[in-house]
């Protein structure tokens, strides 16, 4: 090889090295960039305590599951914004997380209006969401199309359907009246209950709706007809008003809740309700009374860190962080939307709150295991049954649920 060829070869090598250096630097930089998880959680407003519980559960999950707060050398950051228990702030803060903070995945909000409002937005920007509560697709969305929100704990109506079936088959009640907050989550929860109850042979005699934030429930309570039970969904601070007023009026109908409203499965709230909640039977996404080794360890760590007993959203928050870890392991740290969503859909994981796997027939709805709890005289939500539910996504045309009682 002559001198000219040697010089040309060395020139090519030097050029390739110069070109490769920036790419290597970019790759190294990308490997060190933080993995940002957006938490759009209700920290103020009528369901604030549920949002605050969820944040604590996720913070403990980050600390417990990600040594040093990292995944494969990359910091994992929880960026928290206040959904304020309202659709408007939920949308504003979700946009800030996605467009400003550049998060790769979001969790929340809890409030039904915010969850449904941000559903469309997240779908349009192709950002995956792990719902922390049971969630439904907005009715104006074409359900044959793919979407980016994942109902980790099943649908709102599916959970409530189970409780309706349980009320008829296990509690033995044949008639019911409905009393609920007049907004979207109230309609979904009590609508699912009514469907499950009536599918088994029960009869809902009456439905009474009150404006959220009502301080005097008396005008609505005195309208209630006599039935075997009342299906009551009183979320957040509404329940702190409703339970004592219901009892003070001497109404004897047992209270059955399609979901605990963030109250009767939450130790701080239940302590405040006291005798007013005793005897209530509710469905919940989690209870600190769950008798498993994993849950006992979680409760101990939670109490040590926060000096309180975990509520339902504490457990759900921790379970969501278990899912985040499993997803990142499946993608080997790839945080692109396509990789994350493929991994989420393929997950089969036993979390703190129970097994999670997404059914293949109904897009992004997980099989769910709601817990049925009864409040005892010690103000404890005791697990009395764990029905296992596999649901086809409910529509006006078809609702299919396979319920296996344990």
**Cα gap 240→34, rounded to integer Å:** 41
**Cα gap 66→74, rounded to integer Å:** 10
Q: Is residue 337 part of a domain?
A: yes
What is the domain count for the chain? 2
Average of per-residue pLDDT values in the chain: 88
271, 296: one domain: no
SS3 391: strand
Phi and psi at 354, nearest 5°, equal 125, 175
Identify whether the C-beta of residue 104 lies closer than 8 Å to the C-beta of residue 35.
yes
176, 206: one domain: yes
Q: Is residue 29 part of a domain?
A: no
183, 267: one domain: yes
- DSSP H or E stretch at residue 157: helix 156-169
41, 150: one domain: yes
Model confidence pLDDT, tens digit, residues 354-393: 888 887 655 688 877 788 999 999 988 888 887 766 554 4
For the cut 70, the answer to whether the pLDDT of residue 401 exceeds it is no
391, 243: one domain: yes
For the cut 70, the answer to whether the pLDDT of residue 250 exceeds it is yes
Q: What is the pLDDT of residue 144?
A: 78
255, 378: one domain: yes
Model confidence pLDDT, tens digit, residues 1-46: 555 555 665 655 554 555 555 544 444 445 589 999 999 999 998 8
User: Domain range for residue 219?
Assistant: 157-288+370-404
Q: What is the pLDDT of residue 367?
A: 75
DSSP for 240-251 reads HHHHHHHHHTT-
**Cα gap 49→58, rounded to integer Å:** 14
* Pairing mode, strands 281-284 and 371-375: antiparallel
Q: Which of 26-40, 50-64, 66-80, 341-355 has the lowest mean pLDDT?
A: 26-40
DSSP for 279-331 reads T-EEEES--TT---HHHHHHHHHHHHHHSS---HHHHHHHHHHHHHHHHHHHH
39, 97: one domain: yes
Q: Is residue 10 part of a domain?
A: no
Q: What is the pLDDT of residue 394?
A: 45
Q: Is residue 309 part of a domain?
A: yes
Phi and psi at 157, nearest 5°, equal -70, -35
166, 225: one domain: yes
* Mean pLDDT value across residues 208-223: 95
Q: How distant, in Å, are the alpha carbons of 186, 206, 241, 405 from that of 58?
A: 26, 40, 29, 30
Q: CATH number, domain at 191?
A: 3.40.50.2300
Q: Is residue 27 part of a domain?
A: no
41, 143: one domain: yes
Identify whether the C-beta of residue 309 lies closer than 8 Å to the C-beta of residue 267.
yes
Bridge partner list, 99: none
Identify whether the C-beta of residue 370 lies closer than 8 Å to the C-beta of residue 364.
no
The encoded tokens of residue 225 equal: 């007809």
Q: Is residue 15 part of a domain?
A: no
Identify whether the C-beta of residue 212 lies closer than 8 Å to the C-beta of residue 261.
no
Residue of 57, 76, 51 whose CA lies nearest to 66: 76
Give residue for tokens 């899912």: 323
Which parts of 108-201 are beta strand (E)? 129-130, 149-150, 175-181
* Pairing mode, strands 255-257 and 229-233: parallel
Q: What is the pLDDT of residue 119?
A: 94
Please return the burial class of 176, using the count of CB atoms within 10 Å of its CB with bins 0-12, 13-18 and 19+: buried
253, 393: one domain: yes
Q: What percent of the chain is modeled with pLDDT above 70? A: 86
Contacts of 248 (CB under 8 A, 6+ apart): none
218, 273: one domain: yes
69, 46: one domain: yes
């Amino acid at each position: 090889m002559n001198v000219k060829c040697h010089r040309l070869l060395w020139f090519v090598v030097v050029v390739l090295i110069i070109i490769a250096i920036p790419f290597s630097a970019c790759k190294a930089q990308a490997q060190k960039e933080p993995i940002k998880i957006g938490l759009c959680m209700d920290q103020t407003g009528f369901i604030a305590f549920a949002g605050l519980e969820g944040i604590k559960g996720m913070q403990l999950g980050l600390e417990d599951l990600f040594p040093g707060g990292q995944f494969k050398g990359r910091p994992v950051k929880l960026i928290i914004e206040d959904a304020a228990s309202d659709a408007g702030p939920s949308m504003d803060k979700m946009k800030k997380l996605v467009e400003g903070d550049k998060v790769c995945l979001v969790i929340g909000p809890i409030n039904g209006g915010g969850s449904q409002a941000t559903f469309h937005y997240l779908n349009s920007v192709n950002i995956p969401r792990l719902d922390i509560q049971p969630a439904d697709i907005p009715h104006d969305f074409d359900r044959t199309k793919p979407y980016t929100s994942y109902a980790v704990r099943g649908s709102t109506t599916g959970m409530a359907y189970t409780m309706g079936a349980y009320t008829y088959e296990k509690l033995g009640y044949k008639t019911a009246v409905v009393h609920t907050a007049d907004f979207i989550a109230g309609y979904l929860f009590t609508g699912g209950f009514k469907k499950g109850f009536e599918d088994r042979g029960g009869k809902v005699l009456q439905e009474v709706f009150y404006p959220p934030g009502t301080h005097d429930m008396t005008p609505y309570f005195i309208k209630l007809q006599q039935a075997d039970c009342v299906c009551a969904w009183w979320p957040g601070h509404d329940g702190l008003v409703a339970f004592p007023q219901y009892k003070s009026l001497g109404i004897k109908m047992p209270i059955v809740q399609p979901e605990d409203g963030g109250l009767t499965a939450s130790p701080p709230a239940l302590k405040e309700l006291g005798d007013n909640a005793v005897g209530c039977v509710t469905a919940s996404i989690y209870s600190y009374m769950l008798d498993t080794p994993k849950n006992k360890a979680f409760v101990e760590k939670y109490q040590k860190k926060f000096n309180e007993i975990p509520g339902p959203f504490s457990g759900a928050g921790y379970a969501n962080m278990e899912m985040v870890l499993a997803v990142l392991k499946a993608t080997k740290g790839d945080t692109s939307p396509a990789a994350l969503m493929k991994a989420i859909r393929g997950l089969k994981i036993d979390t703190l709150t129970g097994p999670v796997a997404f059914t293949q027939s109904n897009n992004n709805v997980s099989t769910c295991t709601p817990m049925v709890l009864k409040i005892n005289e010690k103000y404890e939500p005791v697990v009395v049954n764990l029905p296992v539910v596999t649901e086809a996504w409910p529509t006006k045309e078809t609702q299919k649920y396979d319920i296996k009682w344990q």
